[in-house]
Amino acid sequence: MKQLVIIACVLFSNGLKAQTMKWFNEPKKWTNNSALAVTVDPGTDYWQVTHYGFKRDNGPFYYQEQEGDFEASVKITGQYKELFHQAGLMIRIDAKNWIKTGIEYVDGVQNVSAVVTREVSDWSVVPRHDSPKSMWLKLLRKGDYVQIEYSFDNKDFKMLRLAYFPPKVKVQIGPVAAAPGKEKFDVVFEDFKVIKK
Residues 6+ apart with CB under 8 A from 117: 46, 47, 48, 96, 97, 98, 99
| Number of domains the chain is built from | 1
Within-domain flag for 107: yes
Give the CATH number, domain containing residue 22: 2.60.120.200
In whole angstroms, what is the distance from residue 102 CA to residue 76 CA?
8
Q: Which domain holds residue 111?
A: 7-196
In order along its 197 residues, the chain shows pLDDT tens digits of 344 333 343 444 433 344 699 999 999 999 999 999 999 999 999 999 998 888 999 999 999 999 999 999 999 999 999 999 999 999 999 999 999 999 999 989 999 999 999 999 999 999 998 889 999 999 999 999 999 999 999 999 999 999 999 999 999 999 999 999 999 999 999 999 999 99
Within-domain flag for 189: yes
Within-domain flag for 156: yes
Beta strands at 17-24 and 29-32: parallel, antiparallel or unpaired: unpaired
Within-domain flag for 1: no
Within-domain flag for 2: no
Within-domain flag for 133: yes
Strand partners, 111: 104, 127
